[in-house]
Amino acid sequence: MNPFGVHARSIELQDDELLVAARRDRCIQIGSLKTAPSIKTGFMGSTLNVSIDDGTSVALRGTKHSDAISFKESVQSNWVAHNTALFEKERSTIDDILRVIAKLSEPSCYPSAYLFSPTLVRAKALNSELLTKLPEEAIGVGVFEQIQSIQDFVQNAVVMRDQAIKKFETQQLPQWADFFDTFESNPLTPEQRISILADEDATLVLAGAGSGKTSVITAKAGYLIKSGIRQPEEILLLAFARDAAKEMSERIEERCGEPLEARTFHSLAYDIIGVVEGSKPALAAHATDDKAFMALIKEILRYLVHTVAEVSKSIIGWFSHARLEGKTEWDFKKKHDYYTYVEKMDLRTLQGEQVKSFEELMIANWLFENGIEYEYEPNYEHKVSEGGYRDYCPDFRLKKSGVYIEHFGVRRTKKNDGTYHLTTAPFVDREEYLEGMAWKRDIHSEHDTTLIETFSYEREDGRLLEALAEKIAPFETPNPRSRETLFDIVVEMKQADSFVQLIGTFLRHYKGGGYQLAECENKAGKLKLGRRATAFLSVFAPLYAEYQRRLDGRIDFEDMILRASNYVENGAYHSPFKHILVDEFQDISRSRGCLVQALKAQHVDARVFAVGDDWQSIYRFAGSDINLMRGFGQEFGGAFDGRSDVHRVVDLGRTFRSVDQIAYAAKKFVLQNPVQLKKTVIPAGTADHPALRVVSTYRHDADEKLKQVLRSLHEIAVSKRKPESVLLLGRYRYLAPSNLAQLRREFPSLNISFRTIHSSKGLEADHVILLNLYRGRTGFPSEIVDDPLLNLVSPDAEPFENAEERRVMYVALTRARHTVTLMGSASKQSAFVTELLADPEYGVSGSEALDEVNHICGECGGQLLAFPTKNGRTWYRCEHAELCGYSLNACSECGSGLPEKRDKSGMKTCTCGALYPSCPQCENGWLVERRGRYGRFLGCVSFPRCKGKAKAT
């Protein structure tokens, strides 16, 4: 049996070859033997085995044992001599490898992957081709120890390099102690020192809020110069803003005595273009001005509306209804979830009113587009009480003809007998709804008013608007408004602003990432973004073409970066930079990342040193791509021992800003998104008092409650006998208090300022107050920023809900040293505030808001919110005031509490101790004594909405 070998008739050694006579003769080079020949003795003589590198073998059976021994010794002697000669021939290579290995034992510089990877590749090849074939007895102990040293390196390269890194840093820390102690006014932390010494092919420093990132990147540049690792002209220090670049340049020159100019990405790219082309192309006027950029997008939309009929139709269609997801009541199991969705979508018509369903929006906008004047939910012309508790208000009334429209939320299925069975949404009582439909028909019949009926099943069939047009035709003639007029109305009502922001953000990502329209269309299908994505791309494609046309030979920032990257990649530009230091790395865009990669690729010893915090990545609208930081190793890492993503991550951990309650709460909050990089957080101190607080406000008392918060902070400042800084933060610029100057005069011990959260990045204050935290499309979290459409121009989607807005909230929280006050909305509480209040681990105080969470609306499942009345009592109303409308008065005994069911007796108890019988018909109500035609009885406190009653005892 010799399945992988050859049974030889004879084997002959001639010089450095073995001649094998077999069924197929072959010639084996002595150097291709895997091992020395072996001999196995048997009854029929000895068998000589020869193993070859290619996995085959040759066996010669029945040989005389003494002949086999003699032949084996001859072959082995030749084989050892051959390999020993090769070993000596490779002596210079072997000595080079041994010298490199020695450097790992006593590293004089940081053992970066690029320094050792070529040597490891050579060592592995040498080991497999030669070293494994040299037995100790053949080459002597001294040489064999060298072989073992190389083989140990081959097998344990990663461990050896890690040990070398640790040894180097241990040696360097005391040598550079004076530099680290004096570079800043305060000595650098241990984590900062390690980050500066780290010099991997790609090094990422995770610098959380207030951890001293600017100190790290400037000290790194200083260290490279002072140590002689690099000359100033070999260091590229990149920042995103001119002010930040200027500050870093000044700090380095002041502390190191060497001029080193920090650059912005755009100034670097512009210079690269100038060097290659001999002159710099003109820059588009909007390139340096976000407001001008957004104004240009709006102007292009207006131009397309006026000039291209098909595109005009798409644009108006977007504002009419295509911008929304278009979910219906049937997509929700709970009424509260549906109401929350409707409020979040902000179903605002072209005429300006908010409606209660997507289908009502379609109807209202069709009427408006076709010049048919209407009223939404007008009072019926005859005073009729709908269901006994409010005046009847039909969905629409056409002003000219007086015709009413009721849209009924019913679908239908055809039965076997040809009739239809009507169904309602999962959370709707079908029988009650159908009774309501019949009641409305009877009312119009009784008062001889004309009623047009539309139905959800018509939209399901794809003909809602077509059916509406047919039903209206006998009563009114459409007079369509021009699309130009419609667009001007949309702009005037501020409904275009969010779309302009979305399409501007999309354009920057699209252009900077080098995307194609077909690519976006395919991705839209994979992400199941449906008709909304199709409608958006039908507007974006012509807008982008017009945008490019208007550049007219000028370039924008995306062009600038992409053109510079191309020049670096194709070698037209020769980079002098061997250390590329990037500040605020979490804000890097795909195109900027390509530029850094191209610069690094020009030199084998070039390194990238990036400082950033993915928890503070909040500039997606400006093109930033957080995936570049999350995939840092794959994008910028070096190669070593079979890996191509070798990089170093240093976590600074320590914050010099926030106390423990704020720092830990902010960390827990941002890490709810599991893809955020994990970081250590060491707070600046321990809070003596609750540091996080929620104050729930209503429209009428928001200003007064802000003053109350400022008053309490003013008292703290007075007690400390020193001013306290207060930073008012708003998600949007328009949230700035109009009376800011008055507040400063009223509270002289407070240094009060206002910033948007985005513009506050890098700032800090003793106290932070977040203003107007409410739920809605333009609330906080904003539904615009995390629009799923942006995933079409991002390599990896962020599936976590409100991912970017969560990071915006983290930035807001971590501006504070001592306290954060969240000014929440009692009627439309922000989902973020609700989350912070719901989990005790956040340590958020705000008992008033917490109490409100416990009162659930029995009609829809939302929250019942307490509102003060003029007479000092309390009135409770559902959070979904416009959609649900449920309300009831507080306990008649105390005037503030809300009786709740406490035991199995059927009685409800108020916090004041008052007892009431539970209403047998509704969830929230209780029975109180009333007088009727037949004397006393117990009726529901919610009468006439609820007619629950019982006999008086």
- What is the three-state SS of 717-755? HHHHCCCEEEEEEECCHHHCCCCHHHHHHHCCCEEEEEE
**pLDDT > 60? residue 918:** yes
- CA 23/CA 21 separation, integer angstroms: 7
Which residue type does 949 have?
K
At residue 667, the 3 state secondary structure works out as helix
307 phi and psi, to 5 degrees? -120, -25
pLDDT at 699: 79
The CATH number assigned to the domain with range 660-853 reads: 3.40.50.300
User: pLDDT, tens digit, for every residue of 230-270?
Assistant: 999 999 999 988 888 888 888 888 887 778 889 999 999 99
Task: Tell me which of 2-6, 264-268, 575-579, 686-690 is least confident.
Answer: 2-6
- CA 588/CA 625 separation, integer angstroms: 6
Structure confidence at residue 896 as a pLDDT band (50, 70, 90): confident
pLDDT at 851: 44
User: pLDDT, tens digit, for every residue of 515-572?
Assistant: 999 999 999 998 888 889 999 999 999 999 999 999 998 999 899 999 999 999 999 9
At residue 521, the 3 state secondary structure works out as helix
- CA 438/CA 384 separation, integer angstroms: 15
Q: CA-CA distances (angstroms) from residue 232 to 190, 198, 223, 578, 893?
A: 26, 19, 11, 10, 79
Select from 270, 210, 259, 209 the least CA-distant residue to 237.
259
Select from 598, 593, 606 the least CA-distant residue to 566.
598
Select from 885, 882, 896 the least CA-distant residue to 852.
896
pLDDT, the chain, mean: 90
User: pLDDT, tens digit, for every residue of 786-822?
Assistant: 688 988 987 776 778 888 999 999 999 999 999 999 9
76 touches 48 (CB < 8 A): no
> For the chain, how long is the longest CA-to-CA vector?
131
821 touches 695 (CB < 8 A): yes
DSSP alpha helix (H) spans, 454-516: 456-460, 464-472, 483-492, 497-512
Q: In angstroms, how far is CA 161 from the centroid of its own chain?
A: 35
E strands, 322-425, in order: 374-376, 385-386, 390-391, 396-398, 404-408, 411-414, 420-423
- CA 716/CA 712 separation, integer angstroms: 7
Task: Tell me which of 378-382, 399-403, 579-583, 617-621 is least confident.
Answer: 617-621
Token readout for 621 is 């609208």
Structure confidence at residue 849 as a pLDDT band (50, 70, 90): very low
Structure confidence at residue 852 as a pLDDT band (50, 70, 90): very low
Helix (H) / strand (E) element for 226: namely helix 213-226
User: pLDDT, tens digit, for every residue of 489-499?
Assistant: 999 888 888 89
Select from 29, 6, 26 the least CA-distant residue to 17.
29
E strands, 467-617, in order: 579-582, 607-612
- CA 598/CA 561 separation, integer angstroms: 11
The helix/strand count (H/E) of the chain reads as 31, 37
**pLDDT > 90? residue 514:** no
- CA 771/CA 875 separation, integer angstroms: 25
Structure confidence at residue 185 as a pLDDT band (50, 70, 90): confident
Domain map (residue ranges) of the chain: 5-88, 90-174, 176-277+556-651, 282-371+480-552, 376-458, 660-853, 864-951
**pLDDT > 90? residue 391:** no
Select from 841, 819, 839, 840 the least CA-distant residue to 659.
819
pLDDT at 112: 95
pLDDT at 44: 80
Beta bridge partners of 930: 937
Please give the average per-residue pLDDT across 635-645, as a whole number: 94
Topology of the domain comprising 5-88: PH-domain like (2.30.29)
E strands, 555-671, in order: 579-582, 607-612, 638-640, 643-646, 648-651
Q: What is the DSSP string of 141-167?
A: HHHHHHHHHHHHHHHHHHHHHHHHHHH
Please give the average per-residue pLDDT across 578-600, as a whole number: 94
Structure confidence at residue 853 as a pLDDT band (50, 70, 90): very low
At residue 54, the 3 state secondary structure works out as coil
| Strands of the 874-878 sheet, one edge to the other | 864-868, 874-878, 887-889
Helix, strand, coil % in the chain, rounded to nearest 5: 45, 20, 35
pLDDT at 847: 46
E strands, 774-884, in order: 816-825, 864-868, 874-878
848 phi and psi, to 5 degrees? -60, -45
Known binding residues for ATP: 207-214
pLDDT at 797: 66
Q: In angstroms, how far is CA 189 from the centroid of its own chain?
A: 30
Known binding residues: 207-214
- CA 97/CA 103 separation, integer angstroms: 10
User: pLDDT, tens digit, for every residue of 104-126?
Assistant: 999 999 999 999 999 999 999 99
User: pLDDT, tens digit, for every residue of 692-720?
Assistant: 999 988 878 889 999 999 999 999 999 98
E strands, 471-614, in order: 579-582, 607-612
At residue 53, the 3 state secondary structure works out as coil
**pLDDT > 60? residue 389:** no
pLDDT at 387: 53
DSSP alpha helix (H) spans, 65-140: 65-89, 91-105, 113-129, 136-139
207 touches 611 (CB < 8 A): yes
Q: How many CA atoms lie within 13 A of 672 on its CB side?
A: 20
333 phi and psi, to 5 degrees? -90, -25
Fold agreement between 5-88 and 176-277+556-651:
no
Instruction: Among 3.40.50.620, 3.40.50.300, 2.102.10.10, 3.40.50.10420, name the CATH number for the domain at 176-277+556-651.
Output: 3.40.50.300
- CA 52/CA 28 separation, integer angstroms: 8
Residues 6+ apart with CB under 8 A from 145: none
Residues 6+ apart with CB under 8 A from 315: 301, 304, 305, 483, 487, 539
Token readout for 79 is 């084989």
pTM of the model: 0.78
**pLDDT > 70? residue 67:** yes
Percent with pLDDT over 70 in the chain: 97
Examine residue 281 and say whether the peptide bond preceding it is cis (omega within 30 degrees of 0).
Answer: no
Helix (H) / strand (E) element for 767: namely strand 765-773
Please give the average per-residue pLDDT across 761-784, as a whole number: 88
| Structure-token match 């021992």, residue found | 641
579 touches 230 (CB < 8 A): yes
pLDDT at 735: 93
